[in-house]
Structure 1
Amino acid sequence: MDNIDRQFSKAELRRNLLQTRQSMPVREWREKSDRICSNLQTSVLFTQAKTILVYFSFRQEPDLSPLFADTNYRWGFPRCVGKSLHWHIWTSEDSVQTGAYGINEPHPNAPKIEPVDVDLILVPCVACDYQGYRLGYGGGYYDRLLSLSEWLTKPTIGIVFDFAYLPQLPIEPWDKPLKNVFTETGWVNS
């Protein structure tokens, strides 16, 4: 399969999975998101972490917001700056702003989080495969982040619904596999 075929199949797969996700009834989305949160809370990776990088749900991604009120953790959220993600501390008492892609972000003046302080990264995904590769929205933000030396050893968990956990995704040389994947049915080892 050449590069053009892979890009087309990635774009087509992304479109189909996003359509499936966004057509999920809100009640089902909430129930599945809540199960993912419950599963995370029983994970040793999660319970032993102190600083966790997460995301604000967008376009019916699994919603992790029930976790954010737990003050035993320091929560970090991304801001898109150019082609990079900048991470900031955020609490449920802080406001957010809408970023360039329509995604909620912390304010630029919120305290920054340095890679050395991060214990776990919960990664939003359109899909993940059994090898840990993810399909994102196509901007490459997480692939660039995870290829940097200061992020290479950080535990990562891809967060997807079961229907988006697939045997194999088309991958590119720059794609970085995640170390773990969680769905509403639990932890799956990649």
Structure 2
Amino acid sequence: MTDSCLATKPTRNITQQRQQIRCQMRAKRQQLSAEQQQQAAENICRQALALIAQRNAKTVALYLAFNGEISTALLIEKLWQAGKTVCLPRLHPFTAGHLLFFRYDRHSLLQPNQFAIPEPELDLTRLVTKNELEIIFTPLVAFDRQGNRLGMGGGFYDRTLQHLQRRNTITVGLAHQCQQVEQLPIEHWDVPLNQILVG
């Protein structure tokens, strides 16, 4: 944890405020026990399956947990068993700061990206267009009651979600209860989520 994470002095700089929240929330996530993480994953799985059934969604985007995020492994397994199409994000190879989504199954090959996060290989035969995505489940570092999401700071999901605002795709954050704050400091590029499931 950097010194900026330990700062207690109030600041008017939104960038500093956001970074301080990131540090605090990531530290809280890391303090969760394996049992708490497992319980959260099970709770999220139940809620997500109910939402998918309610919307009769067949193609959903998920993520692979990293650095204390809620695990999606159980949810992915249940979706495979139900015959749903599961997609994972990959950093766009040509358009910096954007995401592409690829079908993910038991035989998919994964490779670490520049952030050491596993992502699907670049196989265009498995590319899923944004029009096909019915629900995008996103990770997050912090959230508030208004549905605002604070990510890791790269802006990848915000850029991706901006292009979905006029489509029927819904965006759903997955979070631990400890990641909620009263109100996030918002930047003009932030895209609020349609819903947040709390484990």
What TM-score do the two structures reach when normalised by structure 1?
A: 0.89
Other structure's SS at 1:157 match = strand
Stretch moving more, 162-171 or 147-156:
147-156
State the Cα deviation string for residues 143-167 of structure 1 (Å, max 9, x = none): 1111125765420111111111222
Separation in structure 2 between the aligned mates of residue 43 and residue 150 of structure 1, nearest angstrom: 19
Unaligned runs of at least 5 residues, structure 1:
185-190
Separation in structure 2 between the aligned mates of residue 114 and residue 65 of structure 1, nearest angstrom: 23
Is residue 41–residue 71 contact of structure 2 (8 Å, CA) maintained in 1?
Answer: yes
What letter is aligned with 1:105?
E
- Work out whether 1:35 is the aligned partner of 2:77: no
Separation in structure 1 between the aligned mates of residue 119 and residue 14 of structure 2, nearest angstrom: 31
Runs of 4 or more above 4 Å deviation: 44-47, 149-152
Q: CA deviation at 1:39?
A: 1.7
Is residue 53–residue 122 contact of structure 1 (8 Å, CA) maintained in 2?
Answer: yes
What letter is aligned with 2:66?
F
- Work out whether 1:97 is the aligned partner of 2:105: no
Question: Number of matched residues?
Answer: 182
Sequence identity percentage? 26
What letter is aligned with 2:179?
A
Unaligned runs of at least 5 residues, structure 2:
1-10
What TM-score do the two structures reach when normalised by structure 2?
A: 0.85
Q: Rg bigger for which structure?
A: 2
Stretch moving more, 142-151 or 108-117:
142-151
State the Cα deviation string for residues 33-90 of structure 1 (Å, max 9, x = none): 1111112122256661100011010001011111212332101101112211011001
CA RMSD of aligned residues (A): 1.9
Equivalent residue runs for 1:77-92 within 5 Å: 77-81=88-92, 82-92=96-106
Equivalent residue runs for 1:1-190 within 5 Å: 5-44=13-52, 48-69=56-77, 70-71=79-80, 72-81=83-92, 82-109=96-123, 111-148=126-163, 152-184=167-199
